[in-house]
Amino acid sequence: MGNTDSLAGVSIINGFKSAGVKTIVAVPDIVTCDHMLWPISRDEELKLVMVCKEDEGVSVCAGMSYADHRAVLLIQHTGFLDSVNAIRAMGMDYQLPIVMAVGLQGMEVDKLPSESKHNGILILEPILQAMNISYSLLLQDSDAAGIFESIDQAYKITRPHVFLIVRSPV
């Protein structure tokens, strides 16, 4: 029997919806594919825009933000790292509300990102801190309760926000 507070994909998706998100822009990620991306692809309340590369998605979300259209970029941490320049430009320099949900591929099940043995994961929080980008850790289902406020705030103050999906959603 699983942990009753296991992070559920549906809780995250509902958090997005509660914050007025209409579009998910995505590149598939092994952490989030089964319980987020596939359900989103079947969800009639959300438009799914598949992009070929993550930095495209940063820019698609940027363009949408000018029309006050709320979107979330769903990617893997490797794609986040690959897109740092676009995130720097749109998120830091232009102060646009780029909201990202980032799966941590290879994340150890009993550790925090700051304890990971994988360099790609270990460096995420220091990079976000250096870029002055706000972020939240999603470890358990109760963490999804904070999604609404984080997204709503990102759009109200027009700043980026990153959700690090630390555990594989069920």
Using the rule CB under 8 A, give the single segment among 1-9, 29-37, 48-56, 135-143 that binds another protein: 48-56
For the CB of residue 84, give the shortest distance to another protein in the complex, in Å: 10
Q: Which part of the chain contacts another protein (CB under 8 A), choosing from 12-20, 35-43, 86-94, 130-138?
A: 86-94
CB 161 within 8 A of CB 148: no
Asked if residues 144 and 138 have their Cβ atoms less than 8 Å apart, the reply is yes
- Name which of 103, 59, 48 is nearest 77 in CA terms: 103
Please, is 82 exposed, middle or buried when counting C-beta atoms within 10 Å of its C-beta (0-12, 13-18, 19+)? middle
What φ, ψ does residue 158 adopt, rounded to 5°?
45, 70
Q: Does 44 interact with another protein (rule: CB under 8 A)? A: no
Residues that bind another protein (rule: CB under 8 A) add up to a total of 31
Tell me which of 58, 101, 128, 133 binds another protein, using CB under 8 A: 58
Q: Confirm if 109 and 170 have CB atoms less than 8 A apart.
A: no
Q: Verify binding: residue 131, another protein, rule CB under 8 A.
A: no
Stretch near another protein under the rule CB under 8 A, chosen from 35-43, 65-73, 121-129, 138-146: 65-73
Q: Which residues bind another protein (CB under 8 A)?
A: 23, 47, 49-53, 55-69, 71, 85-86, 88-90, 93-95
